[in-house]
Structures are given as structure tokens and as C-alpha cells.
Amino acid sequence: MPSFLLLEVLFIFLFSGVRQSHPLQEVHVSRETIGKISAANKMMQCSAAVDVLFLIDGSHSVGKGSFERSKHFAIMVCDALDINPERVRVGALQFSSAPRLEFRLDSFSSQQEVKAKIKRMVFKGGRTDTGLALKYLLRKGFPGGRNASVPQILVVATDGRSQGQVALPAEQLKERGVTIFAVGVRFPRWEELHTLASEPREQHVLTAEQAEDATNGLLSTLSKAAVCTFASPDCKVQPHPCERKTLETVRELVGSAPCWRGSRGTEAVLAALCPFSSWKRVFLTHPATCYRTTCPGACDSQPCQNGGTCVPEGRDRYHCLCPPAFGGEANCAPKLSLECRVDVLFLLASSAGTTPEGFLRAKAFVKRFLQASLSEDSRARVGVAWYSGELALAVPVGEYRDVPALLGSLDGLPFGGGATLTGHALRQAADHGFGSAARTGRDRLRRVLVLLTESPSQDEVAGPARHARARELLLLGVGTEAVRAELEEITGSPKRVLVHAGPQDLFHRIPELRRKLCSRPRPGCQAQSLDLLFVLDASASVGPENFAQMQSFVRSLTLQFDVNPDVTQVGLVVYGSRVQTAFGLDTHLTHAAVLRATSQAPYLGGVGSVGTALLHVYDKVMTVQRGARPGVPKAVVLLTGGMGVEDAAVPIRKLRNNGVSALVVGVGPVLREALRRLAGPRDSLIHVASYADLRYQQDELLEWICAEAKRPVSLCKPSPCLHEGTCVLQNGSYRCECRGGWQGPHCGNRSLRGDGPAGGQQPYPSQHPPRRPGRPGR
């Protein structure tokens, strides 16, 4: 009899080792937020009249370990419940093959008793019949409860693997007003948990494996539904992205293997390829949204500075782990002693537009600044004033007993409300704010007014700001982005404005304010002799509107110099379709005349050439015959849109080699390489993104001009000698060796001796004595 090989296909089950502690639900938030969720659990307490019944799965599919975790979760929830016969009542029922009442809702009247009874619950075992337990509640209601007179909360802790139907009895309970939370244990079947849970299901499905997180989720949902209210109004329920996992067994085709099969009625043995599979247990993920309560912590304001780490110690306390260099001070902030001699008046907006919160922020900022900056030996003196419609001088500058007394006065400042009249307050503060601190003569201190506001002014500020600056006050502004432009107008420069993005960012501005109070601006060059020429791009690539902005910028710069024939001379050249001298260096002798002529400079249009414009400056403007003064520093400021600069490298080098400093200000979103080549050996180039931003570069440009004005100059560059005469330095002065029949101190007079062209003859020396620096004769 033929033998048949009966071979069975072997299925290999590969079970990956999955630890029970693997998180089955992960809330995707930062570690800091996880800490806040955990801390919020300790602050959440429900004291409403509500019945809470725990329905805990005690079947074999759950196992004893997960049953104990369900009990632990129930105990954590009880920690947040004000258990009392008049408020929260708690009961428990265990189910497996059949339900078993562990204790009624009216059995115990204290939290300790309920928690002790839950701890003593014994694992029952058996099959999972969740539907039968739900039907039990439909028949008998909540044992010992108050029926529908108070909210009824059913917390079902199960693995979601019931052997009976759960959808219908769960729906019937919900129709009776019962709120059902489905809490997964072990590796739950999330689909069944969603069937059990009340709407919205995302807020009523939790996992007992992370008991602390699940407790927060349950209480957060009760809070959102107004079933329970919590004491702290600062705590908020917020949605967070989360991920739920379940462990499933999946079949995976590994390959094929030869096998032999027989056929009935024949003696044949057939060979074939049989599929070879394996079975694996894998985690499947389900994206979800989890609602959790977080409460503000002591470290929310990031109080630790200079890289310090904040460690919370409860809700209101913390300590800072500081880097070694800052370990000796609170919040890792070194003492910012004001060592300079300065009088400071803090002017705080207290109007309705600023709001009480903004006023409190300003007071807190000033208070922290004073605490960090003033000491017994500080040479700075401080005053405080506030305003809305009128100025209220709380502490005149320097008129306080000590720093604690000053801080006490600050605490007592009231919120005024009313209109925001910043201009009016500035004028009053300039006239009366410094009291007896205003000194005269050499004893006069630097006086600074620090304006703190978050609300735009309802009156005009430009005039009062000019009035304050005319009284030799340095104005500094502190505020939000909403008032940046106004503060720049008041202070006169973006560099005198401190903009903050919020309360903590405001406190970070304290070191910057201290630097501005104590840093003296570099001595200017307003009193130094200077020949200053502006060259403006008036081509079509710039356009008339942008040309007007350049004119405004030049007028603003001119105001910083003492326009005077003996101090600063200013000239202007424009270029476009042609090159034109709008006015020469010695044309206008006063501020008013220069400003008027600058406004009248023509816009030319057409295609401009920077090289041609600079050659025009070299040949026809920066020369002694056109008003340039020997021995006086000379500076050319070129403002260009960046077009037509390809031919400028050689002309600008000729100017610099001739003793003329040249700065290029390139305007446009991109700095062209051709402009970079004009920077020269001292990197004399400023890039500005737009014409509207020119005003922000005024300080930088002034700094460059003043630095160039202090550089050593040669009396012979540019040469003061006319008609190709040679300039010779001699004993701190110069003399001109004239050629070709010219004579005089600067070779400006035709010789009466009738000498012919110089040719190869020796220079004819002037018989006049050497000239001192000054304006040459024409």
C-alpha cells in the first residue's frame, strides 16, 4: 500500500516581549507641560453633589495585575473627590461572568473609608461580560445613589474585550442621563471603549495604565461639563494631540516551502510550494485629542536669568540653579549697580488705554530695576511720576529717604484711567519733574526721562519731545510693538527705544536700560571743521518718492552739524541723466539756507552713473577753487540705489587717495557685489534695506563722519595749489611751487615776467611766505 506523507504546515507564533508598563496613551506635549499636568492633579478637587460608581473589570482577560492598576486609578480619583453624603458619593462594583457589588454609594461617608475599601477588593476572575453588568445597573440603578437628582458618573475600567453585546445597554444608560467614562486597562480594544463612552468620546476615553494622566483627564472633562468646578481660576483645560495604542496579533507571510500532498483515489504523491507564515503581536496606533488641565507654575515666568535653571517647589515657590558666575544673586541676576552720576525720572502711563495690567507691569519693571540697580553707595538719583490726563509727581528726583522708602512710594501709585495725554505729560515732566535735582554749571548731572507706555498718545508728542530735548533731557522709551513708532518719534532714535514682547521679556530689558542710562554718547564732531558733501542718486531707478526720502534724510543729518564758514561746510551733488552740483561747499553759510537748498535739489531721472558723479566731485567740487579748505577733513557720503555703480571703483579710489573720505550707503533689499567693491580698505559701506529705513542709520552714519573728521589730514590733499602747482609740506604748513607763468600763494596769479609754458623747466618757486591752513585765495 503506498505510503502517504502527511505533513502539516507549521505556523510559528512570534510574540515580541511587550512590557506591561509600555505607555498605551501618550500625550504629545513638552516635559514642562507634563509636569504641569501632574502638578494640577494635586490642586483639583471636586466638591459638587455627584454620584460616582466605579465598574471594575475583574475577568481573566484583564488579569490580576491590571485589576490592581484599576484599583490604583480609582483611589487616585478619590483623592480629588470631596466624599461626603451631601456632596460626592462613591460606590464600586466588580464584574466578570456576573456583577458583584463591592459597596454601595451610601456605605461610606469619608475619603479614607472609600479608599481603604477599594484597596481590600479581591480579584474575582471569570469571563468578560460587560453587557451583563450594564444591564444590572439598568435594573437596579446606582446602589445607594440619589437617582437622577444629582449627576451620575459611571467609570468603567475594562480591556474592552467583552464576550457579550455592550452597545445597547450602554446607550440606554446614557439616555437615562448617566455619564460614562471608559477607562482602558491592559491592552484595550479602543473600538469597544468608544462604544461605551459618552459624547464627546475623545474626552470620555482614558487609560488606567497611566493613572495620574487619566485622573487629570477625567476631572478635566467634569470641569468642562460644569459638573465640578475647581478653586484656581488660573487653571485651564486645553486640548493636546495624543496617541493611543493597542496590541494586536497580525499574520505575516514569510515565504514558501516545499511540501507533499496526496490525492484520494490515486496513489500519486504531489509536490508543491506551501505558504509559510508567522504571527506577530504589534502595536497599532490611533491618533486622538486628549483634554488635560494645566495650572500656572512658579517657573512659568522664567525667573532664572543668565542660563539658570528654574526648579519648582510647589505652585508659588521655586529656586534657581545658577551658572558659577551668577550663583551669588537671586534669580542668577548680578547686581547692576548704577555707578554713573545720573538723575532719572521714570514716567509711567496710567491711562485706560494702558489698562491696569499694563500699569502693574510697568510698576513691577521699575521696582525690579531699582532693587537690582540702586544701593546705598549708588551715585544715581531716581524719581517716579505717572500720568493719564495730568502728570502726578509721586517722588521728585532724589527726594526720598532710602531705597525701601522709594519702593514703598512705588507700591502706592494708583491706577488713574482716563485719556492718554503723553505729550502733555512730557512737557510737564520736562518743566517740573526733576525738582531741586536740576543743577547748573559744571555741577549739572546728566538727566534722563524714561517713559513707560503701552498705549498710543491721544495728543501730539513731537513738539513736547523737542521741548524736553531742548532742556537737555535724554529721552528713553520702553513699550510694546504697538507704540514703537511713537517712542522713536519721542526719543529721536530707534536706539533709545526698548521694545518688549511680554512681561518676562520686559524684565530682560533691565540690563539694557542700565547700559543706556550710564553710557555716554561718543563726543560728536559738531564743533570740528569739516567739508561735507552729499551725493544723491536722482536716477529713474530710484524714483521721485524715494529721492524725497533721501532729501529728508540729508536734512536730518545736516541738523547735527554747526553749519558755519569756520566750522562745517555742506554741499550737495545729484546725478541721473546728468550730474549737477545742487550747491557747492561754500554756497550756503547757515542751517536754514542748506535745508532750503536741499529741499529744492532737482530730481533728474534717466540713467545714472556713479563713476561719472564721483569724477565730477573730484574735478569740480572737492577743490580749493570751488570752496574746499586746505587742512580741513573732507568727507563724501554717496547714497545710491545700487544701479550704475560698475564704473565707480577707480573714481572713488582717486578721491580717497586725494585725502577725501568716502562712505557708500547702498539702499535695496540685496547688497550688490559691485557696491561691496566700493567699500575701500576701511569697509566704508552701509547697507539699508529700504529708503524708509534710512532714518534708522543716522547714528551709525554720524559715528562714521565724526571718526573720519578726527583722522589726520594732509595740508596738500587735495592740493591747494592751482594751475598744476606742486604743494610742498613745510614746518607744519605748506607752500606752492608754481608752473607755467603762474605765481602767488596758490599759483592763482598770472606772472608779469611772461615766462612761457613750464615744459621741462624747473618750477618757479613762490616768493610768498608759507600759508597757514585756511581758505586759499582764488
Average pLDDT, integer, range 522-533: 72
- Beta-sheet strands, E only, within 600-640: 634-640
Residues 676 and 733 placed together within one structural domain of the fold: no
Task: Please name the residues in contact with 481: beta carbons below 8 A apart, sequence gap of 6 or more.
Answer: 499, 501
> How confident is the model at residue 288, as a pLDDT?
82
Residue located via cell numbers 485719556: 419
Q: Helical H runs in 413-491?
A: 422-432, 462-470, 484-491
Q: What confidence score (pLDDT) does residue 224 get? A: 82
Max mean pLDDT among 35-49, 75-89, 402-416 falls in 75-89
Cell numbers at 137, concatenated? 445597573
pLDDT number for residue 256: 80
Q: What percent of the chain has pLDDT over 90?
A: 34
My answer on whether 415 and 321 are in the same domain is no
Minimum mean pLDDT among 251-265, 621-635, 695-709: which range?
251-265
Which residues on neighbouring strands pair with residue 25, listed in sequence order? 244
Tell me whether strands 568-575 and 205-207 are parallel, antiparallel or unpaired. Answer: unpaired
Q: Which three cell numbers stand for residue 445?
A: 548731572
Does 477 fall in a domain? Answer: yes
Phi, psi of 613 (to 5 degrees): -65, -40
pLDDT at 18: 38
Residue 259 lies in a domain: no
Query: What would you measure as the largest C-alpha separation in the chain, in angstroms?
Result: 151
Pair (491, 580) in one structural domain: no
- Over range 465-485, report the average pLDDT: 87
Establish if 282 belongs to a structural domain: no
Nine cell digits for residue 738: 608754481
**Three cell numbers, residue 151:** 449627576
Of 290-294, 335-339, 372-376, 705-709, give the lowest mean pLDDT range.
335-339
Cell numbers 507564533 correspond to: 13
Helix axis angle for 462-470 and 422-432, nearest 10°, is 10
Give CA–CA dist 155/204, Å, rounded. 9
**So what's the pLDDT on residue 441?**
40
Judge whether residue 173 has pLDDT over 90. Answer: yes
- The helix/strand/coil state of 159 is coil
Confidence of residue 637 (pLDDT cuts 50, 70, 90): very high
In a domain, 76, yes or no: yes
pLDDT at 44: 81
- Tell me the pLDDT tens digit for each residue of 323-334: 554 555 567 765
Cα–Cα distance for residue pair 261/257, rounded to 1 Å:
13
Q: Are residues 602 and 691 in the same domain?
A: yes
* Whether the predicted pLDDT of 335 surpasses 70: no
Q: 607 with 633: CB under 8 angstroms?
A: no
Same domain, 678 and 744: no
- Burial degree of 186 (CB within 10 A; 0-12, 13-18, 19+): buried
C-alpha span between 187 and 195 (Å, rounded): 16
Residue 180: name the closest of 105, 115, 130, 120 by CA.
Answer: 130
Q: Does residue 608 share a domain with residue 472?
A: no
- Is the bond into 2 cis (omega within 30 degrees of 0)? no
Please say whether the beta carbons of 59 and 128 come within 8 A.
yes
Lowest mean pLDDT among 93-97, 437-441, 561-565: 437-441
pLDDT in the model for residue 50: 93
What's the count of helices (H) and strands (E) in the chain, helices before strands?
A: 21, 29
Q: Do 113 and 209 share a domain, yes or no? A: yes
Highest-confidence segment of 253-267, 293-307, 640-654: 640-654
Residue 691 has pLDDT above 70, yes or no: yes
Kindly state the DSSP code that residue 750 receives in the 8-state scheme: E
- Over residues 383-390, mean pLDDT: 90
CB 723 within 8 A of CB 736: no
Q: What is the DSSP letter of 46?
A: B
- Domain of 673 in residue numbering reads as 530-709
- The answer on 367 and 482 residing in a single domain is yes
pTM of the predicted model over 0.75:
no
The rounded percent of the chain whose pLDDT value lies above 70 is 85
At residue 691, the 3 state secondary structure works out as helix
Which residues fall within 8 angstroms of residue 96, CB to CB, at 6 or more apart? 57, 58, 59, 60, 124, 125, 126, 127, 128, 129
CB atoms < 10 A from the CB of 559, how many?
11
Asked whether residue 105 falls in the same domain as residue 191, the answer is: yes
d(CA 598, CA 465): 25
Domain stops at, among 315, 335, 355: 335
* φ, ψ of residue 601 in degrees (nearest 5): -60, 135
Same domain, 330 and 349: no
Within 10 angstroms of residue 165's Cβ, the number of other Cβ atoms is 15
Nearest by Cα to 638 from 681, 579, 721: 579
Task: Sort 103 into a burial class: Cβ within 10 Å, 0-12 / 13-18 / 19+.
Answer: buried
In a domain, 198, yes or no: yes
Q: Is the pLDDT of residue 4 over 70?
A: no
Nearest residue to 626 via CA among 663, 583, 597, 596? 583
* Domain termination residue (choose one: 283, 317, 335): 335
Average pLDDT over the chain, rounded to an integer: 82
Residue 274, domain member (yes or no): no
Contact 234, 315 (CB under 8 A): no
pLDDT at res. 113: 94
**530 alpha-carbon distance from chain centroid:** 42
**Nearest residue to 434 (alpha-carbon basis) of 387, 365, 367, 381:** 381
- pLDDT, residue 439, reads 45
590 in a structural domain: yes
Is-contact 410 384, C-beta < 8 A? yes
Mean pLDDT of 408-427: 88
Q: How far apart are CA 555 and CA 539, in angstroms?
A: 20
The confidence band for 314, taking pLDDT boundaries of 50, 70 and 90, is low
- The partner residues of 271 in beta bridges, in order of sequence, read 260
pLDDT computed for residue 225 by the predictor: 80
Within 13 Å and on the Cβ side, how many CA atoms surround 688? 23
Per-residue pLDDT, 269:
63
Amino acid at 70: S
- CATH code for position 314: 2.10.25.10
Q: How confident is the model at residue 265 (pLDDT cuts 50, 70, 90)?
A: low
Q: pLDDT by residue (tens digit) across 545-590?
A: 999 999 999 998 888 888 888 889 999 999 999 999 999 999 998 8
Instruction: Name, in order, each residue with C-beta under 8 angstroms of 159's C-beta and a sequence gap of 6 or more.
Output: 57, 61, 62, 66, 128, 184, 185, 186, 187, 188, 189
Do 763 and 737 contact (CB within 8 A), yes or no? Answer: yes
Same domain for 663 and 552: yes
Which of 166-180, 646-660, 723-737 shows the lowest mean pLDDT across its residues? 723-737
What lies within 8 Å, CB to CB, of 658 at 6+ separation is: 618, 622, 717, 718
Number of folded domains that form the chain: 5
- Residue 495: inside a domain, yes or no? yes
Whether 74 and 216 map to the same domain: the answer is yes
Tell me: pLDDT of 760 over 50.
no
* Secondary-structure breakdown of the chain: helix, strand, coil percentages, each rounded to the nearest 5: 30, 25, 40
| Residue pLDDT, tens place only, 12-61 | 333 333 334 345 667 777 777 777 777 777 778 888 899 999 999 999 98
Least confident range of 153-162, 629-638, 645-654, 664-673:
664-673
pLDDT at 635: 94
3-state secondary structure of 75: helix
pLDDT number for residue 423 = 93
Contact, 744 vs 777, CB < 8 A?
A: yes
Residue type, 320: C
Mean pLDDT within 301-311: 74
In this structure, which amino acid lies at residue 67? F
Given a cut of 60, is residue 241 above it in pLDDT?
Answer: yes
When mean pLDDT is compared across 4-13, 454-463, 719-728, the lowest value belongs to 4-13
Task: Extract the C-alpha cell encoding 125.
Answer: 476572575
- DSSP class of residue 50 equals E
Mean pLDDT, range 712-728, rounded to an integer? 87
Count CB atoms within 10 A of the CB of residue 602.
11
Q: pLDDT higher for 456 or 772? A: 456
The CATH number given to whatever domain includes residue 488 is: 3.40.50.410
Distance CA 651, CA 644 (A): 13
Exposure of 6 by Cβ count < 10 A (0-12 exposed, 13-18 middle, 19+ buried)? exposed
